Amino acid sequence: MTTYTLHTPIPCHAAICKALNLAGQERRVTLGLDLELNTPAGSLVVAGGQPLNLGKHPRSLWVELVGWLVNQGCEVHCVQEACGFGWEFHRELEGAGAHSVVVAPQELSGKRKTDKRDARMLATLLWDYVSRGNRACLRPVRVPTVEKQQQRGSHRRREQVIKLRGQIASQGRSLLWDHGWLRDLDSWWAPKNWEQLRADLLAAGRTWLVDMIEPMQRMCLQLNGYSEELKKKAISEVKPPKTAIKKSEPGLILNAAEPPRASEEAPAAQVRPKGLGELSYAIIAAEVGDWNRFKNRGQPGSFIGCCPSEYSSGEKQKLGQIDRMGSSRIRTTLVEAAWRICRLNPNWRGVRKYPEELGPQGTVRGARKRKAIVACARMLMVDLWRLHMGTATLEGLGLEPATT
- How many Å apart are CA 261 and CA 256, to the nearest integer? 12
Residue 362 confidence (pLDDT) = 79
pLDDT band per the 50, 70, 90 thresholds, residue 3: low
d(CA 398, CA 344): 11
Q: How confident is the model at residue 31 (pLDDT cuts 50, 70, 90)?
A: very high
DSSP code, position 251: T
The gap from C-alpha 182 to its chain's centroid, in whole angstroms, comes to: 41
Domain boundaries, the chain: 13-131, 146-237, 241-404
On the question of pLDDT at 241 being above 70, the answer is no
The sign of the dihedral angle between the CA atoms of 83, 56, 93, 48 is: negative
Lowest mean pLDDT segment, chosen from 29-33, 313-317, 387-391:
313-317
One of 1.10.490, 1.10.287, 3.30.700, 3.30.420 is the CATH number of 13-131, namely 3.30.420
Q: Residue range 9-23: average pLDDT?
A: 85
> In the predicted model, what is the mean pLDDT of the chain?
86
User: Mean pLDDT over residues 140-168, rounded?
Assistant: 93
Name the DSSP class of 140. Answer: B
**pLDDT for the residue numbered 4:** 53
> Exposed, middle or buried: residue 252 (CB in 10 Å: 0-12, 13-18, 19+)?
middle
Question: 319 falls in which pLDDT band (50, 70, 90)?
Answer: confident
Of 13-27, 59-73, 219-233, the poorest mean pLDDT is in: 13-27
Residue 33 has pLDDT above 90, yes or no: yes
Distance between CA atoms of 7 and 10, rounded to whole angstroms?
A: 9
- Would you give the distance in Å from CA 52 to the centre of its chain? 34
Please determine, for residue 247, whether its predicted confidence score (pLDDT) is greater than 80: no
Answer whether 104's CB lies under 8 Å from 81's CB: yes
User: Using DSSP, how many helices (H) and how many strands (E) does the chain show?
Assistant: 13, 7
Nearest to 275, CA basis, from 383, 179, 355, 193: 383
**In the prediction, which pLDDT does 258 show?**
41
> Position 135: which residue type?
R
Q: Residue 184: its pLDDT value, please?
A: 84
More confident site: 393 or 254: 393
Neighbours of 42 (CB within 10 A): 30
**Which of 5-9, 270-274, 287-291, 336-340 is predicted with the least confidence, judged by mean pLDDT?**
5-9
pLDDT band at 364 (very low <50, low <70, confident <90, very high): confident
Over residues 385-403, mean pLDDT: 89
The pLDDT confidence band at residue 259, using thresholds 50, 70 and 90, is very low
Mean pLDDT, residues 40-53 taken together: 92
CA of 190: how far to CAs of 62, 173, 186, 211, in Å? 51, 13, 9, 17
In which band, very low, low, confident or very high, does the pLDDT at 57 lie, cut at 50, 70 and 90?
Answer: very high
Q: Which comes out higher in pLDDT, residue 239 or 402?
A: 402
3-state secondary structure of 39: coil
The β-bridge relationship of strands 28-34 and 75-81 is parallel
The CA-atom distances, in angstroms, between 137 and each of 29, 106, 123 are: 17, 10, 12
Q: In this prediction, what percent of the chain has a pLDDT beyond 70?
A: 90
**Among 79-93, 198-212, 260-274, whose mean pLDDT is lowest?**
260-274
Which has the closest alpha carbon to 258: 247, 267, 269, 274? Answer: 247
Residue 333: pLDDT band with limits 50, 70, 90: very high
